[in-house]
């Protein structure tokens, strides 16, 4: 592996911080069901028709945010697992090493810059 112990340690710390941040964000809008499952909170603000409409809208917004946070959390946990398994920093698509600059900017990256660009075009 091209990544030095030092960089790996730095990235791992970043990932752990990011994991805690994502969990904190999730807990604002959702309740933990178990370790990595969250249930979006449905806030009851009133019984009037427009209040109910607001509740549904709020819930829909939270659900979208929650799904996005969960996806990010999964990527972070996945990256941490790969560090443990010494598979970190390898592109999931082409199997090549992910650029260090990319990992520094986004430690949970699953693919190299080239594959990420190709993915966007799909």
- Residue 31 forms beta bridges with which residues? 39
**For 117, how many CA atoms within 13 A lie in the half-sphere containing its CB?**
5
Q: Nearest distance from residue 94's CB to Zn ion, in Å? A: 3
Binding to Zn ion (CB under 5 A): which residues in 55-94?
91, 93-94
Count CB neighbours of 31 within 10 A.
11
Looking at 19-27, 40-48, 68-76, 108-116, which segment touches Zn ion (CB under 5 A)? 108-116
Number of residues that bind Zn ion (CB under 5 A): 6
Decide if residue 15 touches Zn ion (CB under 5 A).
no
Residue 64 CA to residue 71 CA, distance in Å, equals 11
Distances (CA, A) of 50 to 30, 44, 45, 87: 23, 12, 10, 52
* Tokens encoding 49: 């028709």
Decide if residue 109 touches Zn ion (CB under 5 A).
no
Q: Nearest distance from residue 117's CB to Zn ion, in Å? A: 10
Q: Which is nearer to Zn ion, 26 or 112 (CB)?
A: 112
Binding site for Zn ion (CB under 5 A): 91, 93-94, 111-112, 115
């Amino acid at each position: 592996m091209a990544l030095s112990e030092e960089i790996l340690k730095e990235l791992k710390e970043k990932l752990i911080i990011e994991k805690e941040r994502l969990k904190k964000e999730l807990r604002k809008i959702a309740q933990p069901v178990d370790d990595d499952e969250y249930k979006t909170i449905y806030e009851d603000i009133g019984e009037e028709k427009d209040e109910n409409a607001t509740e549904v809208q709020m819930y829909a917004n939270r659900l979208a945010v929650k799904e996005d946070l969960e996806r990010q959390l999964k990527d972070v946990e996945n990256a941490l697992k790969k560090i443990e398994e010494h598979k970190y920093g390898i592109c999931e698509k082409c199997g090549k090493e992910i650029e260090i600059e990319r990992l520094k900017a986004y430690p949970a990256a699953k693919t190299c810059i080239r594959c990420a660009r190709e993915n966007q075009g799909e």
